[in-house]
Every structure is written in structure tokens, then in C-alpha cells.
Amino acid sequence: MKASNFSCLVTAGPTREYLDPVRFFSNASSGKMGYALASAAAARRWSVNLVSGPVCLAPPSGVSLHRVVTAADMESTCRQLFPSCDLLIMCAAVADYRPVSTERRKIKKKQESLEVHLEATRDILKALASEKRHQLCVGFAAETDHVDAHARKKLRDKNLDWIVANDVSRAGVGMEADDNCVRLFSRTGESTSFGPAPKSDVAEFILRSILGPK
């Protein structure tokens, strides 16, 4: 149970990293899990900021929505909101790479192949967690193999308090699906699983596991 002045910052959806005005690198994140978390947090009467990449979802009731497009946009917005939040849940699938340069005009097809140079985007969650004071920081690990091992490594390397792992290679759960199946790990060694279940139920499980019942 947390007071009504408790502040939660949630990120959701993908980012888009543009190659030219009409083409971009992105991923299959629908934003459904992040939006479910924001909705569940708002139902607890918390102050909720939702930083969302491009998705086709209606804003949850009682949530302050901040729309962003690129990883740089998301980082800038999160940096403004993070100092005053109590709980950060980084559910967004932020692009790991972006084109080194973005063309101002559409690239015309002139040859059979095109070489694109990419550079790494900043790790927003790792950067924010390195600056945490009172905040709890929760990350997501969407993996296709060695799910638990990869999740535990991210938990340590990014200085997180909790991480939510899910196997996105499984049919019917994870990215774009309405259901999810997760395993939650804490920095103190706790672990617990939930699902498959609707993402609204998974969101309740995550918040309840981290902060207790409503």
C-alpha cells in the first residue's frame, strides 16, 4: 500500500529511429504491457506519468501521457520526470541502434543493396538507475533464449531493484499479444512467476509483488 501522492513513471511501446522521412528502424512492441501497468498504477490513485512511443492505444484514464518517437526523445522526457518519481517501470522496447545519419529526403531505390551504418542508442534505464536516490527501478527483459540468465545479468548490470523477464519467442504471449507470461526477479534474490494471463492481470501481479496489495 502506498499513499496517493506516490509518483510512478512508466515507459511503453517502441521507439522509431529514422533512416529518412518515411523509413525507420523499430520493433514489434504494441505498448499493451506498459499501458496496463500505467492503468493499474492509476487505479491505486498514484500520480502516473506514461512516456509512450508510437502505439495505437487509447490513453489510460487518470494518467499524464507524454508522447515520444525516438530513443533520444524518450530519454529527454524521462530525465525531466525521473527526479520526482518514486517508482520507474521501464517497459518500453527502446531501439538499441539508430542510423548514424538521417537523410532529409526519401532515399530512392537506385541499386539492389543498401549499406546502412548504425550506432548504439544510450541505455536510458541504466543511466537513470545510476542516478537513483529514493526511487525503485524496474526493468523488462524480453528474451528469446536463456531468459532467466539474461534477465539476472541485466538486473545486476543496470543497478535495478526488480526485473520482469518474458520469453517473446512463445506464441500468444509477449509483444503484440493481449496476454503475457513473466518471471519477476529482485536484487535481493527473490523470484516468482505469473501467467499466461491478460496483461491487465500481469500488471497487477507486478505492482503487488513490488509494493504489496492496494
As given in the structure block, the three cell numbers for residue 89 are 517501470
Task: For 184, list phi and psi in degrees, rounded to 5.
Answer: -105, 130
As given in the structure block, the three cell numbers for residue 133 are 536516490
| Tens digit of each residue's pLDDT (9 = 90 or more) over 55-107 | 999 999 999 999 999 999 999 999 999 999 999 999 999 999 999 999 999 99
Cα distances from 131 to residues 82, 120, 137, 158, 209, in angstroms, run 9, 21, 11, 11, 24
Whether 200 has a pLDDT exceeding 90, the answer reads: yes
Q: What is the pLDDT of residue 100?
A: 97
Confidence of residue 214 (pLDDT cuts 50, 70, 90): confident
Q: Report how far residue 82's alpha carbon sits from residue 77's, in angstroms, rounded to the nearest whole number.
A: 9
Whether 202 has a pLDDT exceeding 90, the answer reads: yes
Q: Structural domains in the chain?
A: 7-96+119-211 (3.40.50.10300)
Nearest to 43 by CA among 81, 8, 84: 8
- Give the angle 180-3-92 at the CA atoms, nearest 5°: 30
In the set 5, 27, 166, 180, the catalytic residue is 27
The answer to whether 147 touches 184, Cβ cutoff 8 Å, is: no
| Tens digit of each residue's pLDDT (9 = 90 or more) over 17-28 | 999 999 999 999
| Tens digit of each residue's pLDDT (9 = 90 or more) over 156-181 | 999 999 999 999 999 888 888 999 99
Is residue 166 annotated as part of the catalytic site, yes or no?
no
Whether 128 has a pLDDT exceeding 90, the answer reads: yes
